[in-house]
Structure formats: structure tokens, C-alpha cells
Amino acid sequence: MIPEIIPNTEMPDYSRKWHAMAAVGQTVGVAVIGAIWAGRTIFYAGTGTSGGATLAPVDAQIGGLHNAFLTAAVFISIALVLSIRAYFQENRQAGK
């Protein structure tokens, strides 16, 4: 939805929904990336890591962060491709 086409009477509702979606997206994003980091860190540390990912050796944490950032980059790339596709599709439909 484009804010310019929303009537002023519906703007508070739109704003509330927008902020709720942003909050949920940020929370889920941090949880997913954190879970990937923890899982990959434990994987790189091997078995017997006491204290979880935060107490793993530095090399294992670096490997886990590398995997987490690569995963985030893939998600961002997919979102960018979908956004560009939607933009061109919307322009094509508006031209008809």
C-alpha cells in the first residue's frame, strides 16, 4: 500500500498495521538469525560445548556469524528480487 493513496480517515489504522508488521518482522528476523548463529556455532565447536554458543571457541563463533550473515544476505537478496519484480509488474498493470 502506498501512503499517498490512503484516505486521511484510514491513516491511523494503516499506521498501526504498518508498525505492527515492522515489529513482528524485526522480532522474527532477530530470532531466526540468532538461532542460525547458535546452531552453526555449536556445529563448528563440535560436541561437548558446555554453556552453549556464547561460550564456544572464537573460531566456532566466527563460523557461526559467517553463516548467519550469509543467510541474512540471501534473505535480503530474495526480498530485493521480489520487490523489483512487484515494481515492474505494478508498472506494467498501470500502463494497461
Name the packing angle between helices 58-95 and 11-45 (round to 10°).
Answer: 150
Residue 26 domain flag: yes
Residue 2 domain flag: no
The whole-angstrom separation of Cα 40 and Cα 56 is 11
pLDDT digits (tens, 9 = 90+) for 34-47: 999 999 999 999 87
At residue 9, the pLDDT reads 80
- Structural contact between residues 41 and 61, judged by C-beta atoms closer than 8 angstroms: yes
pLDDT digits (tens, 9 = 90+) for 13-68: 888 888 999 999 999 999 999 999 999 999 999 876 677 888 899 999 999 999 99
What is the H or E stretch that residue 66 is in? helix 58-95
Torsion angle defined by CA atoms of residues 82, 84, 86 and 89, in that order, rounded to the nearest 10 degrees: -140
Task: Output the average pLDDT for the chain.
Answer: 88
Boundaries of domain holding 67: 10-95
Residue 4 domain flag: no
Number of structural domains, the chain?
Answer: 1
Query: Angle at CA 31, nearest 5°, toward 82 and 26?
Result: 55
Say what the pTM is: 0.73
The whole-angstrom separation of Cα 89 and Cα 96 is 11
Residue 64: closest CA among 42, 37, 43, 32: 37
Residue 81 domain flag: yes
